A and B are shown apart, each in its own frame.
Chain A
Amino acid sequence: MNIGVSLTSREEIEVHRFSWPVSLLFPILALLIQSYLPLKMGFLRIFDLPLLVTIFFAVARRRPVPGMITGALIGTLQDALTHHPLGIFGIAKTIIGYLASSLGVKVDVDNPGSRFLMTFAFFIIHHIAYMVIDLGLVGASEPWQWGHTLIQALANGFLAVALFAVLDRFKLRN
């Protein structure tokens, strides 16, 4: 149990742990669902389940190094399913993992409102990071679509509230 400087009303910030099967299974499950469901319902492509899982684990563990490693691994696996070079999602999710775990130390991220706002903001940051890498390193020429990105961020924010509530049940209590 860690004690940190916090902007929350609670004096103690809990550092949650997860069992190994949960830590392995949920990222893979997120990738699997993300890969399979758009086949049946194309609009589900706007969700980014691997990103939500990254945010959840990073925030719950509240340790930057495991958070960024989680993000890097999930992002790299996500890259492997695309036709792009490996590392674009990996770098973006590494940054998100780091930021989310750093934020989790300082801010109460257990209530639905803050979860929504946090996911909304992280989605946009993730998208910006992705675009910067894609344009700067890979040399792609994808135009910026603010409207689409905002809709995606909103949708992911709402989904995060529901998903995090489900994932909370898998936290190990001391």
Chain B
Amino acid sequence: MENFFSRYKNPLVLMLVLFIQVVGLATQVKRAESAKNAAGAGSGGGPRLIRVWTVSIITPFEKAFTSTGHFFRGTWHNYIDLHDARKENRDLQEQLARMKMEQIRLREESAATARLQNLLDFKQRYIGQTVAAQVIGTSGADQSRVIYIDKGSHSGIKVDMPVITPDGIVGKVKEVFKFTSQVLLVNDHDSGAGVVLQNSRLQGVLSGTPQGQLVVTRVMSDEKIDIGERVVTTGHDGIYPKGVPVGVVTKSVPDVENDPFLRITIKPAANLDKLEEVLVVTSIAEESPSSTAGTGPQRAADILAQRLPSAKQEDKPGDQGATATPTPAASPAVTPRPKPVAPPQGTGTPGTGAPATATPRTAVPVTKPQGTAATGTATPATSGTGAPGTAASATASPAIKKSPDQKKPASTGMPTGTPVPGSTPKAPSATGSPSPNSTTSKTGATSTKGTAPSANPAGAKLSGASTKVGVAGTKVGEAGTKSGAAAEKKKGPPKPKATPTPAATDAAPAETPETKKPEPDATPTPPPTGESLLP
């Protein structure tokens, strides 16, 4: 026996070492699956400890290298390269003048859009807070496209926070250590994000390939895709904020693995192979758009473009913070909707911006269909199909659907017409019978994709509206879809009518006395996002 062990010592040791590693690997895979099922995240125990040790050994050197490189580059730019500064200053001033003119025009357009969205009660997901970080390293492996940044839990970074640059989306935080974090790039094989093609409004799923390319899948093959079309995030995935650039379409071919779908190759907007500075979005605010010009919501990329050059200054605690004041509702007729307060940035407590997501929807006034509501019937003329891209369902179902949250008694805030909880939504418009409160409304006119004209602006969960205005109504739309589907089931097959039924046009006016449009010259309501992000 002893002879056996001494003779086969090396193979036996090999088997033992391999066995230990295989068991360890299997344990981690099993644990990861359990955590996924339990909606947990991260690896714990031994593997976590090994990662912490390794990162603690490697990243200080990487930080030192990065700092040294920045020092020399900064020295060059600050002292030696100054001879171009005057010319550059002149060019920048000219550019600034042009941009100011452009800004005036965009501000007007933005205000108009915000007014429309406010009418439709859209909830938008904005970037609430960001933390600027330097990229200090990579995994070094071709099979794992991750980067390391020099900010960790000490700076308020948490797992699953989105990481972006002014150019576009970068990835999400995968692991967090005290002073560093691991970011999984969007072009990794394991990545995923919800995206929409900017012009055609086609939605798909963004993922990476083993070669490090970005592809969009789950787009039907009968759709026409234009090369060069821009792709932005939808905000539907619960990770990335809405409207962040992803890239442009470079190729579109049928997906051989998923037959009815296309495989659209994207050139990333951000240079994922050469990242230096990134922004970690530590909170995403969910907010109804302001109707006031100039203080309306700003696009993520616009905000970021202002922020990144001054990343070092803004990173200091207190510098980033700008508390947005709670804003009254835009319309005096609308029940006051407490707006969230964006917490100061750099406090290291991301997620405190969460109140922004908690805009009480119960305060949203809904249509006042007095006759029906008094009998416990759900508010008519509130379509539930809010999912963008579901224009077909909206077109085929002019019947009125109701989203579940609109059944809440508190949501009306009206003495009359309090719906009975659990009341079955009616679909009176399917029959075309006019409502007692019928007047005409053109709210549905905002929809352009063959959507049935909306019945109720307050019940903004219209698929057509969602499609038109964008994908802002993320959660609202989803909820609306479900309720819409439920209502459709109850009322049977939809009538093939694309034109507004009398009842569909009824309900909107019914609310006009109660829920007025926000006035254009209402008190400025600075959104927390924009305020807190502006330098």
CB-CB under 8 A from B138, the residues of chain A are 35-36, 38-39, 45
On whether A39 and B147 interact (CB within 8 A), knowing A31-B140, A91-B22, the answer reads: yes
B132-150 interface code vs A (CB 8 A; 1 in, 0 out): 0001111111111011100
CB-CB under 8 A from A48, the residues of chain B are 141
CA distance A84 to B146 in the complex (A): 10
On whether A34 and B140 interact (CB within 8 A), knowing A39-B147, A80-B50, A90-B21, the answer reads: yes
CB-CB under 8 A from B61, the residues of chain A are 32, 36
The reply to whether B25 and A85 contact each other, CB–CB distance below 8 Å, is yes
Q: Which of the residues B28, B139, B140, B189 comes within 8 Å of A85, measured between beta carbons?
A: B28
The reply to whether A84 and B21 contact each other, CB–CB distance below 8 Å, is no
- Which positions 117-170 of chain A face chain B at CB distance < 8 Å? 130, 133-134, 137-140, 142-143, 145, 148, 152
Closest A residue, CB atoms, query B26:
A137
Tell me how many residues of A have a C-beta within 8 Å of chain B.
51
Closest A residue, CB atoms, query B9:
A65
Closest B residue, CB atoms, query A84:
B144
CA distance A145 to B213 in the complex (A): 14
Of the four ranges (under 10, 10 to 19, 20 to 34, 35 or more), the interface on chain B belongs to 35 or more
CB-CB under 8 A from A102, the residues of chain B are 10
B123 to chain A, nearest CB (A): 32
The reply to whether B189 and A140 contact each other, CB–CB distance below 8 Å, is yes
Flag the segment in A2-10, A15-23, A68-76, A106-114 that touches B.
A68-76
Q: Which of the residues A36, A46, A81 comes within 8 Å of B54, measured between beta carbons?
A: A81
CA distance A77 to B146 in the complex (A): 15
A95 to chain B, nearest CB (A): 7
Q: Which of the residues A45, A98, A134 comes within 8 Å of B10, measured between beta carbons?
A: A98
Closest B residue, CB atoms, query A130:
B143
The reply to whether A82 and B62 contact each other, CB–CB distance below 8 Å, is no
CB-CB under 8 A from B26, the residues of chain A are 137
Q: Which of the residues B17, B50, B143, B146 comes within 8 Å of A86, measured between beta carbons?
A: B50
- Which positions 120-169 of chain B face chain A at CB distance < 8 Å? 135-144, 146-148
Interface SS, A side: helix
Q: Which of the residues B65, B142, B190 comes within 8 Å of A45, measured between beta carbons?
A: B142
On whether A78 and B28 interact (CB within 8 A), knowing A35-B62, A40-B274, A94-B18, the answer reads: no
CA distance A137 to B55 in the complex (A): 25
The reply to whether B54 and A138 contact each other, CB–CB distance below 8 Å, is no
**Does chain A have a CB within 8 A of B175?**
yes
The reply to whether B62 and A36 contact each other, CB–CB distance below 8 Å, is yes
On whether A86 and B25 interact (CB within 8 A), knowing A35-B139, A78-B140, A145-B211, the answer reads: yes
The 6 closest A-B pairs by CB, nearest first: A82-B144, A87-B25, A34-B140, A42-B273, A80-B54, A85-B28
15 contacts between A and B (CB under 8 A): A31-B140, A32-B61, A34-B140, A35-B139, A45-B140, A64-B13, A68-B14, A72-B21, A77-B54, A80-B54, A81-B140, A84-B143, A87-B24, A87-B25, A130-B143
Q: A84-B144, A87-B25 are in contact. List 13 more A-B contacts (CB 8 A).
A: A31-B140, A36-B61, A36-B136, A39-B136, A39-B147, A42-B273, A83-B182, A85-B25, A86-B24, A86-B25, A87-B21, A91-B18, A143-B210
- Residues of B whose CB lies within 8 Å of any CB of A are 9-10, 13-14, 17-18, 21-22, 24-26, 28-29, 32, 43, 47, 50-51, 53-55, 57-58, 61-62, 65, 135-144, 146-148, 174-175, 182, 184, 188-190, 210-211, 273-275
